[in-house]
């Protein structure tokens, strides 16, 4: 078995340990479709890890922070940041690699097209906490960023967000759309899992949202909506709200599993004020009668083949 952090061994599907072996991973994409690209290694548990002086391209002398790696990345060159696993998770021994990523990372608009990948056996083994309460682990202002394989776990900090992304245009240098978030875990202490404002064409899939306090996927909507978003194959367990996507248009929401309180108002999928969304093949832990309470469709939405515990509703939820 090649060492995941051996720069010269190459990577192949199944070796790199990122969840989602049956799907494309950032490692596949890096190896096969990005000539001239660079890999930057981040491992705060490596005694040799420092930001100043290390180039980050040798896994034996990695960088200490993702922020330093982002600074080194070039936009749209296929550059990928590999973040080593840690055992900061609350139920791990913390005897060997106890340090999580402790960063409040901002990806500036100059870093479009980069990939940030947690390299654990599953996303829970690459814990990431912000540096303080009421912060986001990652705030993204760049286009076409991919984030994969992390456990956003603020531990002792309240009021935090896993990933926030913003598009404003108008010279404000925020272009954080076309964002892909996959194979990530969002932990109970978060207020928001993924929160976006005016970001279009994002893709959120194969994520697990575990009891997120306010909303797992949230449309901030200060500037605009998260239109044309594709959200599929995610699991939501006991989140206060799973998808709060009010006034969003043109979204595809399918194959998600939402387990939670039966009668919560709009606590599953809220598309109030939206237009033309397709919501299909989702599983809800509520009855058909409760579907109108837990979900709200937008105007001109099509809700098809969704499944409740006593059958499939035939009409859009109101």
Gap between the Cα atoms of 129 and 138, Å rounded:
10
Closest CB to another protein among 225 and 301?
225
Handedness of CA 6, 119, 13, 252 (dihedral sign): negative
Tell me the two tokens of residue 179.
């964002």
| Chain residues 149-178 in contact with another protein, contact rule CB under 8 A | 168-170
Closest CB to another protein among 28 and 227?
227
CB of 275 to another protein, least distance (A): 8
As to burial, measured by CB atoms within 10 angstroms (0-12 exposed, 13-18 middle, 19+ buried), residue 275 is middle
Structure-token match 């896993």, residue found: 162
Q: How many residues bind another protein (CB under 8 A)?
A: 19
Is 249 one of the binding residues for another protein (CB under 8 A)? yes
Q: In the set 247, 262, 287, 304, which binds another protein (CB under 8 A)?
A: 247
| Chain residues 216-245 in contact with another protein, contact rule CB under 8 A | 221-225, 227
CB of 316 to another protein, least distance (A): 16
User: Quick one: which of 179, 55, 175, 178 has its CA closest to 108?
Assistant: 175
| Chain residues 186-215 in contact with another protein, contact rule CB under 8 A | 198, 200
Strands 180-182 and 203-205: parallel
| Other CB atoms within 10 Å distance of the CB of residue 172 | 12
Q: What are the helix and strand counts (H, E) for the chain?
A: 3, 26
Closest CB to another protein among 65 and 199?
199
| Chain residues 264-283 in contact with another protein, contact rule CB under 8 A | 265-266, 272-273, 275
Closest CB to another protein among 79 and 249?
249
**What does the binding site for another protein look like in residue numbers (CB under 8 A)?**
168-170, 198, 200, 221-225, 227, 247, 249, 265-266, 272-273, 275, 299
């Amino acid at each position: 078995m090649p060492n995941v952090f051996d720069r010269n061994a190459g990577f192949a599907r199944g070796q790199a340990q990122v969840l989602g072996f049956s799907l494309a991973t950032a490692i596949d994409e890096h190896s096969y479709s990005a000539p001239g690209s660079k890999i930057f290694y981040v491992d705060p548990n490596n005694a040799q890890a420092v930001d100043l002086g290390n180039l980050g391209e040798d896994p034996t002398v990695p960088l200490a922070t993702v922020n330093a790696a982002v600074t080194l990345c070039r936009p749209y060159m296929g550059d990928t940041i590999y973040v080593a696993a840690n055992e900061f998770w609350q139920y791990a021994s913390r005897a060997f690699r106890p340090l999580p990523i402790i960063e409040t990372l901002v990806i500036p608009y100059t870093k479009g097209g980069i990939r940030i990948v947690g390299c654990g056996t599953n996303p829970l083994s690459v814990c990431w906490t912000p540096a303080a309460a009421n912060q986001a682990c990652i705030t993204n202002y760049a286009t076409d960023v991919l984030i994969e394989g992390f456990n956003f776990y603020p531990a002792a900090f309240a009021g935090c967000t896993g990933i926030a992304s913003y598009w404003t245009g108008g010279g404000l240098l925020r272009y954080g759309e076309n964002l892909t978030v996959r194979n990530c875990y969002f932990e109970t202490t978060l207020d928001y899992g993924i929160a976006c404002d005016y970001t279009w064409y994002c893709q959120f899939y194969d994520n697990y949202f575990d009891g997120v306090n306010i909303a797992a996927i949230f449309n901030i909507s200060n500037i605009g909506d998260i239109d044309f978003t594709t959200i599929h194959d995610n699991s939501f367990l006991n989140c206060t709200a799973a998808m709060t996507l009010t006034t969003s248009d043109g979204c595809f929401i399918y194959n998600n599993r939402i387990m939670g309180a039966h009668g919560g108002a709009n606590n599953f999928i809220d598309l109030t004020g939206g237009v033309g969304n397709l919501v299909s093949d989702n599983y809800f832990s509520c009855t058909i009668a409760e579907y109108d309470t837990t979900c709200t469709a937008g105007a001109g939405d099509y809700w098809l083949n969704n499944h409740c515990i006593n059958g499939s509703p035939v009409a859009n939820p109101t």
